[in-house]
Amino acid sequence: MDTVNFVLQGDLCFCENSGVLKTLEGGFLVCRNGKSAGVFPQMPEEYASLPLINYGGKLIIPGLTDLHTHAPQYGFRALGMDLELLEWLETRAFPEEARYGDIEYARRAYSLLVEDLKKGPNTRFCFFTTIHVPAVILLMDLLEESGLVSFVGKVNMDRNCPENLREGGENNPETSLTATREWIRLCGKYQNTRPILTPRFIPSCSDGLFRGLAEIQKTYMLPLQSHLSENKNEIAWVRELCPESKNYGDAYARRDLFGGDVPTIMAHCVWSNDDEIQLLAKQGVFAAHCPQSNANLSSGIAPVRRLLDAGVPLGLGSDVAGGVHTSIFRAMADAIQISKLRRALVNQDEKPLTLEEAFYLGTAGGGAFFGRARGFGPAGSFEPGFDFDAVIINDTGLAGPEKLSLRDRLERVVYLSDDRHIESKYVRGKQVL
């Protein structure tokens, strides 16, 4: 990648890795070799010769991470929103995903998606795709060209789905495993786009498929993403399919696919009980909290405070098309709002999320997943050593009659901004917008 050194000046707002919000009006943010060299109130002598780009009066924040989203579902976002998860999968998600066997359809849909994502505040993504290797590679090519950073997963499914999405027919996991190995071999050419193993969820994969994926994971040292304890009907189904398991997380753990040494993301964790939360924490599994999807698909309100208190690594996801908005600003606002509903409706003792906490989750919280993977640094903060992802926001259109503090400007941006306010974006030190 281009290793360019430069300095940005503007109104800096970021969370340290510890979660504390830092603000610095008219501060200097130094990029060296694609990484942050830190934030300074005055231009440090040693960097005085570097090019200075002045974003005076504009907010500069770390790039946001979407820790869980489905690229092929972008095409039907904001449709079918009256359905609950399993019915929505059958009638909306699966028929749409089957279309990605047609590479021209995939090209049209994925081009629209990537063009849209370039303009927004997110710089990093963990994508589910479909079972179709040529379409997955097409998406990876488009993402690589965009300069965004992503993990992309070819989806595995060999049971409980329509014939045209079932790889190899019943009890024949080899087809899915062979396709997965083929896909992994094609992924070596990318700098910013990495493969992540993606068994859709327990109901979609036979035991043989899970066994093969665990072997592939060991051979190639690949991270993994899946879904966990999202919706009551889904959980009841998993209980039927895995009567030996203590809980849904334990079903993955018994298949040797639940974190430990391997960076792992489980989306949702809406109904995780104390045992499952302890297991997530012990195994260092990231939970991707997807508040908008959880409301749209009638899944519930995730116990985010309990996950945080237990030390589960946590980030935010759009879960498009369960969620309809791609921006992680929207996920921050939704996370705060539904955490208040949780306190009102479920447990008075669970404190709602603060703006600072939600901002942390959408930046350094999810960005930490990238720090666990080989080749990337951690992302989502401006502390020295973090990958240099920065978003420049022109919030003059959001001003009121009074001058606001940086913290309050950030809050307004989280709740009110849209892509029109995103002026520029840097990813790993490279300007992509």
* Residues at the site binding Fe ion, with contacts judged by CB under 5 A: 267, 319
Token output for 159? 């049971």
What character string, x for contact with ligand GUN (CB under 6 A) and - otherwise, covers 84-103? Answer: -x---x---x----------
Instruction: Tell me whether residue 295 or residue 393 sits nearer to Fe ion (CB atom).
Output: 295
Q: Kindly state whether residue 200 participates in binding ligand GUN, applying the rule CB under 6 A.
A: yes
Closer residue to ligand GUN in complex, CB, 225/381: 225
Concatenate the DSSP letters of all residues of 24-78 into one string.
EEEEEEEEETTEEEEEESS--GGGTTS-EEEEEEEEEEEPEEEEEEEGGGGGGTT
Q: How far apart are CA 357 and CA 283, in angstroms?
A: 23
Q: Quick check: 319 binds ligand GUN (CB under 6 A)?
A: yes
Interface residue with ligand GUN among 322, 352, 362, 378 (CB under 6 A) is 322
Phi, psi (degrees; rounded to nearest 5) at 55: -105, 50
Is 70 a binding residue for ligand GUN by CB under 6 A? The answer is: yes
**CB-nearer residue toward ligand GUN: 65 or 293:** 293
CA distance 95 to 91: 7
Strands lying side by side in the sheet with 390-393: 35-40, 21-32, 6-15, 52-62, 390-393, 422-427, 430-431
Report the site for ligand GUN in 223-242 (rule: CB under 6 A): 227, 230
Q: Assess 270 for contact with ligand GUN (CB under 6 A).
A: no
Binding-residue total with ligand GUN (CB under 6 A): 12
Segment 274-303, which members bind ligand GUN (CB under 6 A)? 293, 297
Beta carbon nearer to ligand GUN, 252 or 376: 252
Q: How far is the CB of 267 from Fe ion (least distance, A)?
A: 5
Alpha-carbon distance of 317 to 88, in angstroms, equals 19
Distance of CA 153 to the CA centre of its chain: 12
Comparison of 69 and 363: residue with beta carbon closer to ligand GUN: 69
HSE toward the beta carbon, residue 231, CA cutoff 13 A? 23
Checking DSSP bridges between strand 52-62 and strand 390-393, what pairing results, if any?
A: antiparallel
| SS3 of residue 279 by DSSP | helix
Q: Which does 201 bind (CB under 5 to 8 A by kind): ligand GUN, Fe ion, none?
A: ligand GUN
Q: With binding defined as CB under 6 A, does residue 201 bind ligand GUN? A: yes
Q: Catalog residues that contact ligand GUN under the rule CB under 6 A.
A: 70, 85, 89, 93, 200-201, 227, 230, 293, 297, 319, 322
